[in-house]
Structure 1
Amino acid sequence: MTTENNFAKAEMLIRKPVSEVFQAFVNPEITSKFWFTKGSGLLEPGKTTEWTWEMYGFSLSVFTKVLEENKKIVIEWGNTGEETIVEWIFTSLSENETFVSITNSGLKGDIDKIIEEVRNSTEGFTLVLAGAKAYLEHQIQLNLVLDRFPKGLA
């Protein structure tokens, strides 16, 4: 399979200033309201951060490759040999509107594995963006990531 299709993408308009939306993905105290349950620190270029989803007993090391204030975040994450790149692009459309695009690229494996990863990543980042939108615009915690795998079905 060619690598040009080895990516997942999710996008969403969030009706908040770009600085607020950007910080929601850099600062784990905010991100934990809609995605993971805790992070070891702010994202910083060239540094590794630990993100934890306590409800699933799962943690992941995240290496921040690029951090351009209010514009772009690029991280590398994943198991050894299966790392992928996640890129957030923040586009300010007006004083109170930010368009967020998330792309997870570098997915590896045979065609079935890549299709599964594209589907799972697209679904996951769509839930993250919807949760971020609800939290930032309305201060509502929808628990979308928590409820994705309810106990008894996971």
Structure 2
Amino acid sequence: MSTDVYVEAQMLIRKPVAEVFEAFVNPEITTQFWFTKSTGKLEEGNSVTWEWEMYGVKSNVTVHEIIPDQSIKTEWGDPAVQVDYEFKEMEKGTLVVIRSYGYDQTGENLLRTVNDNTGGFTTVLDGCKAYLEHGIKLNLIEDKFPRK
């Protein structure tokens, strides 16, 4: 397992930290910019399943730690990796940093995975920003790999 390789994406979202944090733990909000279904709200010690119906994909997400309005530590994917979300209150809003690590791929497979995850988490943050700041549902995840 590669412990020195990680993916990091970040975005300033011009909303209070409590509102941005809630957008990531509450699937009623998160489904507006990321996955389409969830079996529940993120809560420390619990597991939920996220679904992207348009792709026929599901992922089990285990929540290891939640510090309200500060951080969420999860494990998910296949193969599973650690995905941490950090929320920093800033003068103009909230800086969200998503970091993913613990990859077991090597070589070209690792490069492809890092590239895919960097783009994916950036797209999530872009969609979240548009939704929270402007109330616009951009459908970025659905449109990333359109079907005919």
| Matched ranges for 1:4-83 at <5 A | 4=4, 6-79=5-78, 82-83=79-80
Change (3 A) 1:111 1:92: same
Q: TM-score, normalised by structure 1?
A: 0.93
Give the structure 1 partner of residue 94 of structure 2: 98
Give me the whole-angstrom Cα distance separating, in 2, the residues matched to 1:110 and 1:72. Answer: 29
1:88 aligns with 2:62: no
Give the structure 1 partner of residue 142 of structure 2: 146
Unpaired runs of 5+ residues, structure 1, are none
Give the structure 1 partner of residue 111 of structure 2: 115
Give the drift of 1:2: 5.9
Give me the whole-angstrom Cα distance separating, in 2, the residues matched to 1:74 and 1:58. Answer: 22
8 A Cα contact 2:2 2:105, kept in partner: no
Bigger proportion of residues as strand: 2
SS of the residue corresponding to residue 103 of structure 2 reads coil
> What are the Cα deviations for residues 23-68 of structure 1, in whole angstroms up to 9, with x where unaligned?
0000000000000001111101110001010111111110000110
Pick which of 101-110 and 30-39 moved more: 101-110
Unpaired runs of 5+ residues, structure 2, are none
Give the drift of 1:113: 1.1
Give the drift of 1:7: 1.2
Matched positions, count:
148
Give me the whole-angstrom Cα distance separating, in 2, the residues matched to 1:29 and 1:68. Answer: 20
Q: TM-score, normalised by structure 2?
A: 0.96
Q: Deviating runs (4+, > 3 A) in structure 1?
A: none
Give me the whole-angstrom Cα distance separating, in 2, the residues matched to 1:111 and 1:8. Answer: 15
CA RMSD of aligned residues (A): 1.3
SS of the residue corresponding to residue 9 of structure 1 reads strand
